[in-house]
Amino acid sequence: MRALYLVFAVGIFYSTDCLSEQATGKASLEYMFPSMPANVQEDIVVQVGPLGSPQPCPIELTNLFSNSNLFSAAEAQKIAAVALKYRNVTTNNGPADAVFKEMVFKQQTFHQYTNVFPVACFVHTNSIDREEVASFYDNRFIVIRYRNPTGDGYDAQFVDGWLILFQEYKNNLLNGLFLSVNAPNNPDKTGQKCNALTRMVNGKVTGKYIGWDENGKIAVELEFKKPVEILKYLPMKGDLSWEDCPKGK
């Protein structure tokens, strides 16, 4: 699980290894999305590529959740609320006001690899929304799925109680924020910032795709001229989604 998620967050969204100062945009796209066809690459403009040096970040792109150029007030509030709500949640300790319903098995499949794992399902007495919680590595890694009956909601991953990944859904398709978050390094665990941000529309990236390095510089900046379904071109699984196991498992 760690390889599937964290490699995407810190290895696909950006890389701080300056492998080539003269690397072209095409080489950067091939590095990030090795199976992406050339005709799809033509719809992506590389403004900063991961094979070159990180660039100074203009103030309007500062990777703070309070930056209104990147996040609306509602988005910033939602991210903060999710980070707080699930900080101490495990499969044995559900979200506030939620009641345990059942333990089921789910699976994730990417390329030829399938991972099967138990998921705790929680329901609410005052809502028909549903929350599912998966736990890995003795509760160090927690993955949350929140959905209403129409398939709107989000997935989120926590590491040691701190929000790392957040992905929004609408009608069971990735739609909205698709981001990763820096784990705070300072002892009092404050100051989390966005380290990669894009937005999905019906499962495809549209507009900007930005990654920051640990110093807040721009390490990757892509502009999608057309919506692109980038998840299928990643060498590792990039979304947190899971599926029901086939009957009999």
Domain boundaries, the chain: 2-88+151-240
pLDDT at 134 over 50: yes
From residue 62, give the alpha-carbon distance in Å to each of 13, 42, 196, 210: 16, 28, 12, 11
DSSP 191-221: ---EEEEEEEETTEEEEEEEEE-TTS-EEEE
Which of 242, 237, 173, 218 minimizes the C-alpha distance to 12? 237
Question: In this predicted structure, what is the pLDDT of residue 65?
Answer: 93
Q: Is 166 helix (H, G, I), strand (E, B) or coil?
A: strand
pLDDT tens, 147-170?
999 999 999 999 988 999 999 999
pLDDT at 220 over 70: yes
Question: In this predicted structure, what is the pLDDT of residue 135?
Answer: 92
For residues 99-104, average pLDDT: 93
Tell me the pLDDT band of 8, cut-offs 50, 70 and 90. Answer: very low
Parallel/antiparallel/unpaired status of strands 98-110 and 243-244? antiparallel
What's the whole-number average pLDDT of the chain? 85
